[in-house]
Chains A and B, each alone.
Chain A
């Protein structure tokens, strides 16, 4: 622990190349944990949100309770959410994931429901007239048409999840948040800034990637088709 006097680590500078090269492993592990927590929770959220939204769209009486409940869940602060779930899951990654799933639910259910409701009645009738059963109508007609709104919700949910994962540091599973938390306690500036910047980069990259997925999945929303490749 005796670096050269002219080392940016000893001078505790915000930007430090020596930090990047010497802690590459730690940064990599934290980034991986961050990505994992975000991905798993948003995927689980999506898995729960789609049936909920479909149910709320199909049966009018279900919409109020579903929307009300998910809104209340969103109101609970993240720090509090992780603590409320603590007795159930203990200090574990599942705790952070469970909290994040509950958060993404609100954003996803709202957007998917809005997308499903925007499907024109004529379109539904046309599908029925062509002999589509309820399941096929849902999968082949309604869900694809709800896709743009659903993807918008998915992008917001993902970006929010990336930033919320950092709070998971309070139970030791916060991905890059762990580095920010420990950097705060030791006044380690390079670590805090590097981890924060990585967080934002992950969020931006995820958003762009999802935008690409959206464009690939919804070719009909683009004004004109380019020459066939």
Chain B
């Protein structure tokens, strides 16, 4: 196919990779955006989910937040933030919109994971004289780790994919390769940008899958 050949040419020409609008710089922005958002989302979602899961309260809340989160278009949130006073704060509208987007999967998975821990195990920990925080960190969290990791993976992959939307609102990241391609009416460049983002998303997915597979034993893998 002609478009595919042209896309390959675009991807392999070094001129497209360097400079202000080059792929390397956009890739850096993309990774920066994604990791900052993931870190902030974890800092917000995980403590809440772990404590709620430990106490066994607020389950309906966690699940409802997650469902409502899907209904809110990230693009709309981004534009709303841009037009509000926060809009003048550089990258922050994008970061806030993406954090709002990444919190629900993290919250739900961590909560479900904590609730899924065998109650007998928790009672045994209590019987051994462990305090609440000790039980949470020493017993429940390790056992819930696989689901917490799944939530982390979902959030990370969706963040990589969704960070492209920032470009629609003039933000940085690999999405800019796509939107620039649109403005130039250059199909090869659009497809090249799409391929790059998809490859990055699959790469992140792969890294997490590998991390889960080779996680140490405390990460809750039953020692076979």
Contact = CB atoms under 8 A, between A and B. Distances in A.
Interface range on chain A (Cβ under 8 Å from partner): 35 or more
A200 interface: yes
A79 B79 contact: no
Contacts of A18: none
Contact of A200 (B72, B164, B179, B195): B72
B75 A86 contact: no
Contact of A159 (B71, B75, B79, B198): B71
Contacts of A207: 67, 71
A76 B191 contact: no
Interface in B174-193: 175, 178-179, 181-182, 187, 190-191, 193
Given A177-B73, A196-B80, A81 B194 contact: yes
Interface in B54-72: 67, 70-72
A35 interface: no
Given A170-B168, A187-B83, A87 B191 contact: yes
Given A87-B3, A167-B168, A193-B80, A76 B190 contact: no
B181 A83 contact: yes
Contact of A196 (B77, B191, B193): B77
Given A181-B168, A195-B76, A196-B77, A80 B178 contact: yes
A77 B168 contact: no
Interface string A39-81: 0000000000000000000000000000000001001111111
Contacts of B67: 156, 159, 207
B71 A79 contact: no
Q: Which 6 A-B pairs have the closest CB atoms?
A: A80-B194, A203-B71, A77-B161, A196-B76, A163-B73, A83-B190
21 contacts: A75-B161, A77-B165, A77-B194, A78-B161, A78-B162, A79-B197, A80-B197, A83-B191, A87-B187, A159-B67, A159-B70, A166-B76, A170-B182, A181-B79, A184-B79, A184-B82, A196-B73, A196-B76, A196-B79, A199-B71, A203-B72
A81 to B, nearest CB: 7
Given A75-B201, A87-B3, A170 B179 contact: yes
Nearest to A198: B76
A204 B83 CA distance: 25
B205 interface: yes
Most buried by B among A75, A79, A180, A196: A79
Contact of B198 (A75, A193, A196): A75
Interface range on chain B (Cβ under 8 Å from partner): 35 or more
Contact of B193 (A75, A83, A189): A83
A180 B79 CA distance: 7
A77 B160 CA distance: 8
B174 to A, nearest CB: 9
Contact of A77 (B77, B162, B181): B162
A76 B70 CA distance: 17
B125 interface: no
Given A83-B191, A87-B191, A192-B83, A76 B76 contact: no
B72 A184 contact: no
B14 to A, nearest CB: 22
A183 B79 contact: yes
B202 interface: yes
Most buried by A among B77, B79, B161, B181: B79
A160 interface: yes
